[in-house]
Structure 1
Amino acid sequence: MTVRIGVLGCADIARRRALPAIRRVPEAELVVVAARELAKARAFAAEFGCAAAEGYQSVLDRPDIDAVYIPLPTGLHHTWIERALAAGKHVLVEKPLTTRLVDTAAVLTQARSRGLVLMDNLTFLRHGVHHFVRRMVAAGEIGELRMVSGVFGFPPLPAGDIRYRPELGGGALLDLGVYPLGAARFFLPEEPEVVAATLREDPDRGVDVSGAALLCTPDGRTAQIAFGFEHSYRCEYQLWGSAGRIVVDRAYTPPPAWHPVVRVERQDETRELTFPAEDQFVNTMREFVRAVTAGQPAEEVTAIRARARLLDEVRDRARVLRAPVTCQGPGGRLDAAGARD
């Protein structure tokens, strides 16, 4: 069976990673790309040899579409997931699934009631290196796992970036925090709970630009995460055990040709393991197509719901700090009054 896919939106992530991944999966067929403006859809579709459509609903109305991929801003996910499921389409949507647990739970229930697949595109969890690392931990490579730590951050975005727009579901928590939260849940043996958090909010834009959280499992293992749009680049997780530590850099968004390196540190010994390159977007697309044709594993639905719960807990339990308005001066950072730090 070939799964015929339509795309709602012309996001950069779709062009760079997702649509090339669709074309690399033999059981998937890219049929149409839609945008609000037909000219944009045509330009986008010309790159990938598919049809173009004006308006997202026009794709949902087509009988020759089995599934849709939704790379729209997070704040639009809930509406278009609901409409796609109502139209009888399977859905793969960019992470996170929606902005709130209540909305995520609602669309998961809707998908189950209609016998449809609903997945988020948190692709790093489908990269083989992380499954290998989890097997290493289970085999006792670092003794008993005590703590997971994860960070994902990069320098400020361009001023007009949609991730600075609260009405579109902007903010660092939804864009970046979901990665280390996902890593914490992936490696901890029991479901973690957020026990403390901070969010640093830009008062002009009304979105969080950075944050951190402490998580704990019922058996006392912990996770520490940090994320933000105002940092030098870091993208890693560390697993700290009773007898050693595992470090994985470029963990969440490696390019397809990247060969992951896993550093294992034990007392008086450090070694590095290099793994073959994988395209985690292709892996995810294969898994989505397999779920459409053979059924979605129950644990996938459980994982989506659990990650949504953690995002809500960070927001609900965070101490919100107001970020000062700053700019970069020739001799250092200046605050809004012109004082140099």
Structure 2
Amino acid sequence: MSEPVRWGVLGAANFALQHMARAIHAAEGAEFAAIATSSAAKAEPFRAFAPGVRVHDSYDALLADPEIDAIYIPLPNHLHVEWTQKAARAGKHVLCEKPIAMTAPEIDQLIALRDETGLVIAEAFMIVHHPQWTCVRDMLDAGEVGTLRHVDVAFSFNNPDPGNIRNRVEAGGGVLPDIGVYAFGGVRYATGQEPEAVMARWKVENEVDTFVQVWADFPGFTYGGTVSTRLAPRQEVTFQGDRGSIRMSAPFNPTVFGEARVELHRDGQQAEVRRFTSDNHYVLQVEAFGRAVRGGDAYAVPLEFSRGTQAMIDQVKAAAVQM
């Protein structure tokens, strides 16, 4: 049996505390070994569920720890490329929160670094590790809806706090890097297709996009979607073909939003419903990353995939007109 991947977490972000550090602690083949934070008080909630975790008082000290194999990065968006590069240069595998970069060309630098070092470097695009997305992809491949003609996507939550990092332009905030990555990447993953043309309009507050409406042409189907950080929580994806449709009820964060259901609707037939009640995509993501590190397994979302999603975000930004 291979040795567990020993993880270090770069910073005491709340998202790491609530989700990813706990997932690392719970995952098979993983050990939550260390965290970097200059605040001892911020480390204590992590020690509550992982008493043996070591605390480094700086990011550089964590990267220098010879007993750490992989680094998880939950830092503000604008720091992702810098610290991914530093971690890899220190010989660590890297799982970095999305978006791993702010533009597609920046990801080219990370691809080159990955190839140079032989390390696993990936974006924490957790949704595709949830079996509901594999289920939908397989159903589309099997022609369960006939020929796919259109995809509808909606993802929103209400976050008006101007001090929140998602609303700060200097930290890489905005709805597109925060949740647009899911609305675009999920459809790309399920269909295996890339957009050919994009139109968009958006609302911007204090230089940060807060509502974006997108229309896109993919090979064989159209896309229509909205993402917003100023609307009540909602998430739904529908894949509509000429003989049926697939609806996802909680496609992006089912552990928080609600039960993950995949519904297959066909004319004149009772809907087929598949429920996913116990799957934790954060844990599954950590385990998949570990298999890539220790077993050499292909990772489901390599940097090339992340680049494609970021390229679509870049296209939307370039095309967006003010509402």
- TM-score normalised by length of structure 2: 0.92
2-structure distance, mates of 1:11, 1:194: 37
Deviation at 1:194, TM superposition (A): 4.2
Shift of residue 320 of structure 1? 3.2
> Which of residues 84, 90, 93 in structure 1 aligns to 2:93?
90
Q: Is the 8 A contact 2:123 2:303 kept in 1?
A: no
Alpha-carbon distance in structure 1 between the residues aligned to 2:99 and 2:232: 23
Match of 1:260 in 2: 260
- The percent of aligned pairs where both chains have the same amino acid is 32
Query: Are 1:65 and 1:89, in contact at CA under 8 Å, matched by a contact in 2?
Result: yes
**Displacement after TM superposition at 1:19 (Å):** 1.3
> Are the counterparts in 2 of residues 73 and 162 from structure 1 also a CA contact under 8 Å?
yes
Deviations 1:289-333 (A, max 9, x none): 111113363762321121121111111121134xxxxxxxxxxxx
- Equivalent position amino acid for 2:283 in 1: V
Question: 1:5, CA displacement in angstroms?
Answer: 0.7
| Larger RCO, structures 1/2 (Cα 8 Å, 6+ apart) | 2
- Structure 1 unaligned regions, length at least 5: 322-341
Match of 1:211? 212
Tell me how far 1:274 sits from its aligned partner: 3.2
Deviations 1:163-212 (A, max 9, x none): 0111111000100111110122122243223421122100xx22111102
Counterparts of 2:151 and 2:257 in 1: how far apart (Å)? 27
What's the C-alpha RMSD, in Å, of the aligned pairs?
1.9
Residue 293 in structure 1 maps to residue 294 in structure 2:
yes
- 1:156 aligned onto 2:159: yes
Aligned residues of 2:155 and 2:227 also touching (Cα < 8 A): yes
Q: Contact 1:257–1:279 at 8 Å: present in 2 too? A: no
Per-residue deviation at 1:43? 4.6
Quick check: 2:71–2:87 contact (8 Å CA) kept in 1?
Answer: yes
Greater mean deviation of Cα atoms: 206-215 or 45-54: 45-54
User: Gaps (5+ residues) in structure 2?
Assistant: none
The equivalent of 1:30 in structure 2 is: 32
The answer as to whether partners of 2:137 and 2:191 remain within 8 angstroms in 1 is no
Counterpart of 2:315 in structure 1 is 313
- How far, CA to CA, are the matches of 1:189 and 1:281 in structure 2? 23
Question: Post-superposition shift, 1:223?
Answer: 1.5
Q: Residues 271, 123 of structure 1: CA spacing in aligned structure 2 closer, same or farther, 3 A cutoff?
A: same
Closer/same/farther in 2, CA of residues 228 and 258 from structure 1, 3 Å limit: closer
> Partner amino acid for 1:216?
D
Give the deviation of 1:144 after TM superposition: 0.6
Query: When the two structures are superposed, what TM-score results if normalisation uses the length of structure 1?
Result: 0.88
Based on CA coordinates, which of the two structures has the bigger radius of gyration?
Answer: 1
The 1:46/1:235 distance shift into structure 2, 3 A limit, reads same
Residue 178 of structure 2 corresponds to residue 171 of structure 1: no
Asked whether the 8 Å contact 1:142–1:266 carries over to 2, the reply is yes
Tell me which residue corresponds to 2:6: 4
Q: State whether residues 194 and 314 of structure 1, in contact with CA within 8 Å, keep that contact through their aligned partners in structure 2.
A: no
Cα distance in structure 1, aligned partners of 2:142 and 2:264? 14
